[in-house]
Amino acid sequence: MSGDSRNGGGSGASPAELRARIEQTRQELGDTVAALADKADVKSRAQEKAARIKDRTLHRTTAATDRMAGSAAVRTAAVAGGALLAGVLVLRRRRTKARVRPYVLRTKKTGRPLAKAAAKARRACRNKGHR
């Protein structure tokens, strides 16, 4: 085992060589720790990936817009699509408003709707002989 360069050197290594090996090992460990820290930093990796996707999408959108910028048919289709989308949104809103149920009053004690609680109370009175 003496003389093995991987274990820190043998008896023939001078103090200067040992210091150089220690410094090199520290540098390698520092690089390894930095690489592991980069892998563990999920937030920054996700932000970098999002930035790459954003840049790629912007580039593709710009290229497609440049290709079709002068076309009157594209402008007409865009206006028609926007009008269609607005119409669909208006119709959906009207349908949704029509389906909204009125607010139902509930009793504090049981949480039942007030109409059901009143009907139950009337039946109880009738069963006891009250009218």
DSSP for 24-50 reads: HHHHHHHHHHHHHHHHH-HHHHHHHHH
The per-residue pLDDT for range 15-71, each reduced to its tens digit, is 999 999 999 999 999 999 988 888 888 888 888 889 999 999 988 888 877 776 667
The per-residue pLDDT for range 62-115, each reduced to its tens digit, is 887 777 666 777 778 888 999 999 988 888 877 665 555 555 566 677 776 667
The sign of the dihedral angle between the CA atoms of 22, 25, 29, 35 is: positive
Query: What's phi and psi for 13, nearest 5 deg?
Result: -85, 135
Beta-bridge partners for 106: 113
